[in-house]
Amino acid sequence: SGDDRIQFLHNQTTANFECLSEGQGCETVFVTPTARTIDIAYAWIMKKAVLLMVSPETCGNITEMLNKYIFFADKVEIQDITKQTCLFALSGPKSSEVMANLNLGDLVGQPYGTNRHYNVNGMPITVGVGNIISEEGFSLLTSPAAADSVWKTLLSQGAIPLGSNAWEKLRITQGGRPAPGKELTNDFNVLEAGLWNSISLNKGCYKGQETISRLITYDGVKQRLWGIHLSAPAEPGSPITVNGKKVGKLTSYTTGRKECDHFALGYIKRKAASDGDTVIVGEKIIGTVVNVPFLSRQSPPPVKNSGPRLN
């Protein structure tokens, strides 16, 4: 919160906050000064504040980091409101139907990040388009006091509870969304993670901007994140090889809808493999490289053809 909150986040993260207004939202990435990834944040622009939803494991570090960058004259306040709020994520093909039944249908079809305040059965609630795993579906933010009623209301509309293990399975198999400590670490930069839609390439100076610009200008992205269908279970951290040469690393693994299905995410060198190619994971697990929805929606800039030069 604070009068300088928009400019502050504009300078501290990768998205263009200055082009957003109240009721809009976006995804943005927290990076190190060398553009290494910390976490993806889902942001809602509100009347007097910007709400940022980050991963539980990064919340404390991000709060501490942001506070370090607030200077004396900055009118900015950072507050961790995790314990004062409850967040529900609604996903699946019938999400819009549930919203309509709760008289929240005016959000259906709105751009990702659009958020509005409502009252549902007398309970104040803020609802946004999309959630932290998918651009489809919705996020519902309420107080702990109202959380039980909101939960029961969603269940009465046919919503099915999803545990943390199933959520992780959905993240990997259906979304392919990078996660902190797995795909988002100090080993990989934001462009290797494929987070193009969360990066403004036109705004001025911000943390990590110099490295990002250099990587784009000189085509310096050496590896990228892929989905991988596996022939057997594999451990995260396992090497990925092609023709006996290490070309990447597995970062996440889960079973599919059937226990005999195995799926993973991993970083692979750009020139080593692409969609449909075969790789080896670990010693002898066969993998097929595939695109995943979250990464498929990303829009990198077109490669510039420098052409011949005359000196």
Interacting residues of 92 by C-beta distance below 8 A, sequence separation 6+: 137
Per-residue pLDDT of 157-191, as tens digits, reads 999 999 888 889 989 987 889 999 999 999 999 99
Q: Which of 102, 121, 99, 118 is nearest to 110 (CA)?
A: 99
Q: In Å, how far are 191, 192, 224, 235 from 212, measured between CA atoms?
A: 8, 10, 15, 31
Single pTM value for the model: 0.90
| CATH topology assigned to domain 5-172 | Gyrase A; domain 2 (3.30.1360)
Assigned CATH for 173-296: 3.30.1360.120
Task: Identify the pLDDT of residue 215.
Answer: 93
What residue spans in the chain does CATH classification 3.30.1360.120 cover? 5-172, 173-296
Per-residue pLDDT of 63-86, as tens digits, reads 999 999 999 899 999 999 999 999
pLDDT band at 311 (very low <50, low <70, confident <90, very high): very low
Whether 129 shows a pLDDT value over 90: the answer reads yes
Average pLDDT over residues 263-280: 96
